[in-house]
Structure 1
Amino acid sequence: MPAPTEMPTKHSTPYPTWEQFQQMEKRQDALEKRQDTTDRRLDSGAGEFAEIKKAQDTLRQQQAAHGQTVAEVREILAELRELVESFGNLKGTIRVMRIAGDVIRWGCTLGAAALGLWVAFRSLGGGL
């Protein structure tokens, strides 16, 4: 803009020429078009972000459920280990009972044989 004391010249008018005005309109249209494109991209990005956030929330819920499931499986494994250990102890107990049963069986067999001999000996007239 010219100094206030100077008179404006043909090329230094404060108003744009028709060509300059048309160029400014074209630039404005281009800027509005870019703005619309940018707004659309931001809107689609916001939608995609919402989908990602929803998926993230779902994954967090699944992770929490998975953590609870893992804890339950660990508890079950501990109980199974105790059960296997108990079966191992029971196996030892069964072995001892089998041996005791064999001893009792042989003892009863020998006792019955001894009783039979005693009864036979007694009936034949031998005395004890």
Structure 2
Amino acid sequence: MGIKNRVALITGSASGMGKQTAMRMAENGAKIVINDIVSEKVDETVKEFKKAGFDVIGKVADICNKSSVENMVKETVDTFGGLDILVNNAGMERAGALRKLSEQDWDITLNVNLKGAFLCS
């Protein structure tokens, strides 16, 4: 069956591993949704993908925010007619010993890594 003409949303895909995953999927014929929280990175990555001839859109969205995720999914479906593949790639960590982490560091790590994946799924 493959992924040709499937719509793939990859969270945190404006750089790093997410970008490489999106690139590989695009090379295999998927329509790609680039997501990140930093609009400049999204715009730059979308331009790069379009220059390579890929069918791509960019969605700036905070995956820790339910309405932001709902809007991203709605705009994806409105643009491509559906959503077939989700790659919950976005993740982060606040480095350091657990005893030195603040509650805020802990919360943002859990929100991005767990809540974000939950809301997108």
TM-score by length of 2: 0.14
Which structure has the greater CA radius of gyration?
1
TM-score by length of 1: 0.14
The structure where helix makes up a greater share of residues is 1
